[in-house]
Amino acid sequence: MTEHIQFSPEKDCLVLLDQRVLPNREDWFDCTTTDEICYALVTMVVRGAPAIGVTAAYGCYVAAREVQKSGVGEWRSALEAKLDQIENARPTAVNLRWAVREMRRIWNEAGSVALGELCGIWLARAKEIHEGDIAMCEAIGTFGGALIADGDTVMTHCNAGALATAGYGTALGVIRGAVDQGKRIQVIANETRPFLQGARLTAYELHRDGIPVKVACDNACALLMKKGLVQKVVVGADRIAANGDAVNKIGTYGVALLAKHFDIPFYVAAPVYTIDPETPTGDHVPIEDRTPREVTHVGDHQITPDGVEVYNLAFDPTPNELIAGIVTEKGVLYPPYAEAIAALFR
């Protein structure tokens, strides 16, 4: 599926499938302003590191058009402020920062370009990033699919599928790649509290594609592994540090520890631009602390007593020593990761 992120020439805006209401409804959210782009990012209308990056790229165009329509004289400073707003919308996924920096790079290289011309340049680049992300995920699927054996049951945590990217997916791209290679694969999708990306989104995608999937409670992982029901674990990442530590949805670290205990290969799948050579380790990545309501409520139903505080840290870093391989569009990286990543960027 690739239709969940669309640029509409008729509306001159970015149109997003609202992932907050899946799988019960398929609603669409129009982004015509910078505030709407940031709202979509913060509230998780769109989520998943690569999808966030694609949205941010289009968001820069939306910001430029918004400034153009305002007729403000000092448009450069006004546009810079809007780019800062987009870049700071969410702190953990490096793809967002990468996309905004890419647009700034293009602007700097263009020199004293007119705003209208910059809009056209940015829209063209956003479309390239959009299409390129799908191609990267398909390459990840080819490399990662080779790591999966015929008959394997693969556990995944959160949603790193088409919905989390421009299409095809990273972790689910590996699963789709294995299926495309003719292998019979089953999937265990951890529910992924509190936002339930696995139960709502991963199950939605795989069921729609006819790939056998079962949803498991997060706290069932140890028993499922002990029973021999899991042969591989594949997850995505919102940022990979220079030493190979991978930051993914909260709970991933625990799954990796269990996989190590039961001698189950644990793989991380992500495009190269999710690797951040500026971040030395996973402990240096800012971890988003989200609204308590995601924990205290399921939908509109409150499940905790009034006045009780909660933790809602959205991500955790998985140490590199727990990771069997990092699957990218350039191939699979193996330990020692610091050397493999340095060589990749050279």
Domains and CATH numbers, the chain: 5-137 (1.20.120.420), 141-345 (3.40.50.10470)
pTM over the 0.85 mark = yes
**How many CB atoms neighbour CB 254 within 10 A?**
17
For the stretch 336-343, contacts whose Cβ atoms lie closer than 8 Å and that sit 24 or more positions apart, written own/partner, are 336/244, 337/243, 337/244, 338/242, 338/243, 338/244, 340/244, 341/240, 341/242, 341/243, 341/244, 341/275, 341/277, 342/242, 342/277
Would strands 325-328 and 186-190 be described as parallel, antiparallel, or unpaired?
unpaired
Predicted confidence at residue 1, as pLDDT, reads 67
Q: Which residues pair with 250 in a beta bridge?
A: none
Please report the pLDDT score of residue 71 as a whole number: 87
- For residue 312, say whether it is annotated as part of any ligand binding site: no
In angstroms, the Cα distances linking 60 to 14, 107, 149 are: 11, 11, 42
Show which residues are catalytic.
Answer: 238
Helix (H, G, I), strand (E, B) or coil at 8: strand
Which parts of the chain fold into alpha helices (H)? 34-42, 49-70, 75-87, 94-110, 115-145, 171-180, 197, 203-209, 221-226, 252-261, 293-296, 337-345
* Alpha carbon distance 82, 67 (integer Å): 9
> Is 248 marked as a binding-site residue?
yes
48 is known to lie in a ligand binding site: yes
Tell me whether residue 197 is annotated as binding: yes
Going from the first residue of the chain to its last (346 residues), give the mean pLDDT of each consecutive group of 10, the final group possibly shorter: 90 97 96 98 96 97 96 92 97 93 96 94 98 96 98 98 96 98 98 97 96 98 98 97 98 98 98 96 96 94 96 97 98 98 95
307 is in an annotated binding site: no
CA angle, residues 61, 65, 66, in degrees to nearest 5 = 115
Q: Cα(250)–Cα(217) distance, rounded to whole angstroms? A: 14
Look at residue 107 in the predicted model and tell me its pLDDT.
97
* Residue 239, strand partner residues: 247
**What is the distance between the alpha carbons of residues 248 and 93, in angstroms, rounded to a whole number?**
9
pLDDT score recorded for residue 111: 85
SS3 assignment, position 52: helix
**What is d(CA 206, CA 186) in angstroms, rounded to the nearest whole number?**
10
Q: Rounded distance, CA 247 to CA 287, Å? A: 9
Any residues with CB less than 8 A from the CB of 196 and at least 6 apart, and which? none
